[in-house]
Structure 1
Amino acid sequence: MQKTTEESKTTMAYKPTKIGVIGGGSWATAIAKILLSTQETIYWYMRRQDQIDEFKRVSKNPSYLTGLKFDTERIFFTNKINDLVKQVDTIIFATPSPFLKQHLKKLRVPLKDKIIISAIKGIVPEENLIITDYFQQFYNVSRENLAVLAGPCHAEEVALEKLSYLTIACADREKAKALTQVFSNHYIRTSTTEDVTGIEYASVLKNVYAIAAGVCHGLKYGDNFQAVLMSNAIQEMQRFSSAIHPLPRSIDESAYLGDLLVTGYSKFSRNRTFGNMIGKGYSVKTAQIEMEMIAEGYYGVKCIKEINESFHVQMPIMEAVYNILYNRASPVLQIRALTKLMH
Structure 2
Amino acid sequence: MTTSPTMHHPTHHQHWPVQREVVFVAYPQMGLLDLSGAQTVFWAASKALSQRGLPGYRLRTASLDGGLVNTAEGLAVDTCPLGELDLAAIDTLIVPGAPDICQTLDSHVELVAWLHRKAPTARRVASVCSGAFLLAKAGLLDGCRAATHWAMCDTLQQRFPALEVDADAIFIQQGAVWTSAGVTAGIDLALALVEADCGREVSMQAARELVVYLKRPGGQAQYSTLLQMQAQDSSVFDELHLWLAENLGDPELTVERLAEQAKMSLRNFSRVYKLNTGRTPAKAIELLRLEAAKRLLETSPRNIQQIARACGFADEERLRTTFQRHLSISPRDYRSRFTREG
TM-score range, shorter chain: 0.3 to 0.5
Which structure: greater helix fraction?
1
The normalised TM-score by structure 2 is 0.37
Q: Which has the larger radius of gyration?
A: 2
The normalised TM-score by structure 1 is 0.37
